[in-house]
Amino acid sequence: MDTFAIGNLMRRPEAGAILSLIAVIAFYVIFGGVNLVNLFGAASWVNFAANLGIVALPLGLLMIAGELDISIGAMIPAGSMSIAIVSGYYGMPIVVGMAVALGLGVLVGLVNGLLATRTTVPSLIITLGTLVAMQGIVLAGSVLLTGNASVPLSAPDWAKTIFGQLLGGSYQIIIVWWIALTALFVLIIHYTPWGNWVFAMGGDKESARNAGIPTNKVTITLFVLSAVSASFVGMCGAILFNSAQVSGGMNYIFNAVVSVVVGGVLLTGGFGSVMGIFFGTLTFAIVNQGIYFTDIDRNWSSLIIGVMLLLAVLMNNSFRKLAMTARPKKKPA
Amino acid sequence: MNSATQSVSTGTHGARPGLGVTLGRLARRPEAGSLLGMVAVFLFFALSAGTIFVSPAGFASWLNVAAEIGIVALPIGILMIAGELDLSIGAVIPASSLTLAIISGYYGLPEPIGIAAALAFGLLVGAINGFLVLRTEVPSLIVTIGTMFAVMGLTLGLSVLLTGSTSTNIVPSPFYKALLGQFVGGMFQVTIFWWVGFIIVAAFLLHLSPFGNWVYALGGDKISARNAGIPTERLTITLFMMSGFCAAFVGVGQAMVYQSAQVVGGQSFIFNSIMCVVIGGVLLTGGFGSVAGIVLGTITFSIVNQGIYFTGFDPNLGSVIIGALLLLAVLMNDTFRKMALTYSTKKKS
Amino acid sequence: MTKFSRLAATASTAAIAVCAATAVLAADIFVVGGKPDDPFWSIVKRGAEDAGIVAEAQGGSVTWLGPQNYDNLGVDAAELIRQAIDQGADAIVGPDWVPEAMDPAFQAVVDAGIPLVIYNAGGIEAADRLGAMNYVGSNDYKGGFAGGEYLGNKGKQNGVCLNTLPGAANIEAFCSGFVDGIVSVGGEGSVLPLPATSFGSATAVAQALRAHLLQHPEINAVFAIGNVDANSAVSGIAQAGKAGTVEVCGMNFDESILQNIKDGTQACAIDQQGYHQGYLAVSILNSYVNYGLTVPTREILTGPGIVDSSNVDATMAGVAEGTR
């Protein structure tokens, strides 16, 4: 996609996301009495955004390609439990635990990808199946192997430094990973043919295949990416917090989808950008965590999230229409 | 979530069973796969679980669960046939329970007012969903996630504001308890009979009235449906209102059965109802499915969900089995559908 | 982006400095607790806020921080503690739910010289280990234990813990406490974990228990991990035709649970007396920050209390006030 060739910022997919971000902050400042210095100084929402963002990036790419992956909700606890069981309970080297955690991600991603390419079943349904199955496998596995549903883990110093460190006492190192991954994805998606393939698939899979794009390979790769990212987030959480528990991750499903959509990605595929996903995640994190800094009663937070999502969707829609009318020949999606 | 071309072509072929009931052979009907699945699952548990499972007590166990999911799964299935999704039901169920409990329990107003308010709330959320989906042209999955969060927040905020608590109890008068919250024979929830009623209405609407043809046409191809003179906008809003209404009905029933309502709960209905519908052979991309399929899917899901407790399996494995069953059902339905498509027409997507 | 974080870090230190400088007299107390729509935690919150009325009269404030859900309990709570530090708290109240995950965050509170009270979970051991002022509360394990003991003493010697949220640390603690409790009085206990697809559906929970009871006729005691599940359990037992032979105890209660106890369909409810947890923890810190007052009693236990037919009426009066 030649997103960067377009000079006009307003027509870029992330324009809506950036405006949403500004609108949300303005709303909190005006109605919630937020002290901006306090808000920007706090690590909590950046940490929240980083954990969510690493999952949202590949999910967003999947959505650009016209697929969906909700099994991430089970992959996050799967990642943290597998490293905790292997390296914590059985006391094997931490590298083995990491390999198992990430390997499990590859495996589940492959299953999702193969099923999505070999059958005509929508990926929402396929990954719903793997979601429930993985939840069960993680729970049963942990209870059968360790007799417990939460397992402690003590990682060696070098692993903590790379994956589970608190910078400045409160910023999780995963923020650095998030930024690095975002940069990497920007490079791949917007500057290599691979990115064009993803967009083309979301626009029209048949013609993409006819144009010689290895659609199956791309789809499977994307599913593997999203499952591995999810188990990576789980793994980092286990290393940082020295423990893992079975439940958890379900809220990542909706949170990640909402972040991606706020970031301007079309659920029906073919439209979006990595920076949009990045800003969408930031926006969602501020909405979600920023409410702690306001005078607004915490009880209303879900309502605000819902309304914000709907507004963001409306706004992105207008921007997209603007973008499409401005260059009708280039965007068949 | 596959490409647009695919959904359109399968959709038009799939519309056949609705348009003319000419498709005679059982094996090619949408529900064939789900019928086989149900029989297989039932036999499996009947053999491995022993006598209690096949006694009335065993039937009641999964029927009660099936009835509640089933009432929601019907409109969700019809929405999916029309190519839409509704996740907001997960928030509407507790919201309507609380509406009834607050109005008739906390404020002590007569039950009809509470019930009417709860059901009206469901209709309203449905209308908002439908309206937003039409106006914004954003996929309904996203729109209804938005309304789901909004309704959840409203429920919590208003409940705390009005009653100062997150749960409210209600002591229904005997008449309404008998109507909506009784156990027939001490074990069969009266909801089962309501479910049967809903099935009959849904079957009539979808398979015998012109309304049904419209739904299939809408799921097959929205543009040509509109060009053919189908009031697509009114139809979409009606469908969303139906799902809001049914979710509210389940919420009312729960409040009556358990005589209390709380802010949390209901979220499991979101994915559970989708699973039932999919096991029942409905295509997420629209245009294909039947009421009988949805019912069979619901029963299959409930048998698996409850049957585990009658067997000697480790209950920890419950989720694994449910997930595996879902994947299996999906693959089986996929095979059946392909078979149906290749037989009924040479053209393949 | 690095420039941004550096900027943010500087800003945060500045903010803390400013807050610490201005808040010499008035105590801005941050309370980390459960999510706001949790019936139990809304009572703890009420207690904290009632104590906050005094704090506000003295020019301070009480702010409640709770996670959106319990999916990632320890991690989320650790985040909230760090957030309280970031927001310039003069004193912090927090539960030590998952020590491995949360201890570093509590350590940061103590290192920053902020007075800390551990409440609800962790026990005095956690308070001593972390250098907190005191511990206020019951704990999950002891709550379950009390339930097991109560039912066992009533002659119900074969119990099952109905776990609708397997994997969550606090819930697992209820169940292991229950099993140990019933074993301690000579009975035997087991756990029935339900799949995630049943969570939040009263009917699915009731039917699961009913099926389990039919399949295991020897069971005569049930422990539910919350008031919603206790209600479902009562229904499931009635449907299994075992009302009267199988007795239920449950964690926490609301009006319908008390009605059950009054009607005799439920044997007991374990009361963690959450109002006291919030109220006492905040009061201790408020008077310490403002006036240097201390409470020499270490480990202030607020529970578990047991509500059964003998004291149900007094409890109902408290529920009407939103304090129990």
Give the residue from A44, A111, A120 showing the smallest Cα distance to A74: A111
pLDDT at B283: 77
Query: CA–CA separation, C287 vs B193, rounded Å?
Result: 61
Query: CA–CA separation, C168 vs A73, rounded Å?
Result: 15
pLDDT at A144: 82
Query: CA–CA separation, A20 vs A28, rounded Å?
Result: 12
| CATH code where residue C85 lies | 3.40.50.2300
Does some domain include residue C306?
no
Report the residue of chain A nearest B329, measured CA to CA: A129
- State the DSSP H helix or E strand holding residue C77, giving kind and residue range, or none if neither: helix C73-86
Considering the domain architecture, whether residues C9 and C89 belong to the same structural domain is answered as yes
Considering the domain architecture, whether residues C144 and C266 belong to the same structural domain is answered as yes
Higher per-residue pLDDT: A241 or B11: A241
B196 close to B284: Cβ distance less than 8 angstroms = no
Cα B109 versus chain centre, distance? 30
Considering the domain architecture, whether residues C279 and C267 belong to the same structural domain is answered as no
Task: Give the end-to-end CA distance of chain C in Å, rounded to a whole number.
Answer: 49
Phi and psi at residue C109, to the nearest 5°: -65, -50
pLDDT at A2: 44
ipTM over 0.85: no
pLDDT at A150: 73
How confident is the prediction along chain A (333 residues), in pLDDT tens digits per residue? 444 444 455 556 677 778 888 888 888 888 777 777 777 767 778 888 998 999 999 999 998 888 889 999 899 989 989 999 999 889 899 999 999 999 999 999 999 999 988 887 788 888 988 988 898 888 888 878 887 777 888 888 888 888 888 777 678 888 999 999 999 999 988 888 888 888 888 777 778 888 888 888 999 999 999 999 999 999 998 888 787 777 667 778 888 988 888 888 877 777 788 998 999 899 888 887 777 777 777 677 778 878 877 887 777 777 777 766 655 444 443
The beta strands (E) that lie in chain C are given as 28-32, 61-65, 91-94, 116-119, 134-136, 158-163, 188-193, 221-224, 247-251, 268-271, 305-307
Report residue B246's pLDDT band, with 50, 70 and 90 as the boundaries.
Answer: very high
pLDDT at A1: 43
Considering the domain architecture, whether residues C24 and C102 belong to the same structural domain is answered as yes
Which amino acid, residue B202? Answer: A
Which pair of tokens denotes residue C265? 């369909």
Which of the other chains make 3 or more beta carbon contacts under 8 angstroms with chain C? A, B
Query: CA–CA separation, C253 vs C264, rounded Å?
Result: 15
Between B and C, how many CB-CB pairs are < 8 A? 140
Give which of B260, B300, B311, B320 to mutate to test C binding, by max C Cβ within 10 Å: B260
Report the residue of chain B nearest A124, measured CA to CA: B1
Provide the greatest CA pair distance for chain C.
68
B89 close to B73: Cβ distance less than 8 angstroms = no
The model's pLDDT over B198-216, given as tens digits with 9 standing for 90+, comes to 999 999 999 898 888 888 8
Q: Is the pLDDT of residue B156 over 80?
A: yes
* CB nearest to B317's CB, from A136, A258, A297: A136
* CB nearest to C200's CB, from B183, B265, B316: B265
Give which of A120, A251, A283, A297 to mutate to test B binding, by max B Cβ within 10 Å: A120
Cα C212 versus chain centre, distance? 28
pLDDT at B198: 96
Higher per-residue pLDDT: A216 or B285: A216
Q: Which fold has domain B4-344?
A: ABC transporter involved in vitamin B12 uptake, BtuC (1.10.3470)
Report residue B245's pLDDT band, with 50, 70 and 90 as the boundaries.
Answer: very high
Q: Which fold has domain A3-325?
A: ABC transporter involved in vitamin B12 uptake, BtuC (1.10.3470)
Sorted by sequence, the CB contacts under 8 Å of residue B262 that are 6+ apart come out as: B94, B97, B98, B166, B167, B168, C39, C228, C254
pLDDT at B281: 83
C266 close to C246: Cβ distance less than 8 angstroms = no
Query: CA–CA separation, B17 vs B33, rounded Å?
Result: 15
Neighbours of C112 (CB within 10 A): 14
- DSSP-derived letter for residue C321 is T
pLDDT at A9: 54
Q: Which sequence spans correspond to the domains of chain B?
A: 4-344
The model's pLDDT over C50-84, given as tens digits with 9 standing for 90+, comes to 999 998 888 888 988 887 766 666 777 888 888 88
Q: Do A301 and B153 touch (CB under 8 A)?
A: yes
Q: How far is B67 from chain C (nearest CA, A)?
A: 10
Separate counts of helices (H) and strands (E) for chain B: 16, 4
A172-186, B87-101, B173-187, range with the lowest pLDDT: B173-187
Burial class for B312, CB neighbours closer than 10 Å (0-12, 13-18, 19+): exposed
* CB nearest to A267's CB, from B142, B149, B330: B142
The boundaries of the domain holding residue C163 are 140-271
DSSP-assigned states of every residue in B45-57: HHHHH-HHHHSHH
Please name every residue paired with C305 in a beta bridge, in sequence order, or none if there are none. C271
| Ranges under pLDDT 50 in chain C | 1-24
Please say whether the dihedral angle defined by the alpha carbons of residues A222, A223, A228 and A234, taken in this order, is positive or negative. positive
Which pair of tokens denotes residue B293? 């399929």
Query: CA–CA separation, B27 vs C9, rounded Å?
Result: 66
Does some domain include residue C158?
yes
Which pair of tokens denotes residue B349? 């997507």
pLDDT at A83: 93
Q: Do C166 and A247 touch (CB under 8 A)?
A: yes
- State the DSSP H helix or E strand holding residue B169, giving kind and residue range, or none if neither: strand B167-169
Sorted by sequence, the CB contacts under 8 Å of residue B298 that are 6+ apart come out as: B66, B69, B70, B73, B276, B280
Neighbours of C307 (CB within 10 A): 24
- DSSP-derived letter for residue C246 is B
* CB nearest to C200's CB, from B167, B171, B268: B268
Q: Do B323 and A254 touch (CB under 8 A)?
A: no
Considering the domain architecture, whether residues C247 and C165 belong to the same structural domain is answered as yes
- The owner of tokens 């008031």 is C227
DSSP-assigned states of every residue in C178-221: HHHHHHHTT-EEEEEEPPGGGTT-HHHHHHHHHHHHHH-TT--E
pLDDT at B341: 65
Domains of chain C: total: 2
Mean pLDDT, chain B, rounded, equals: 82
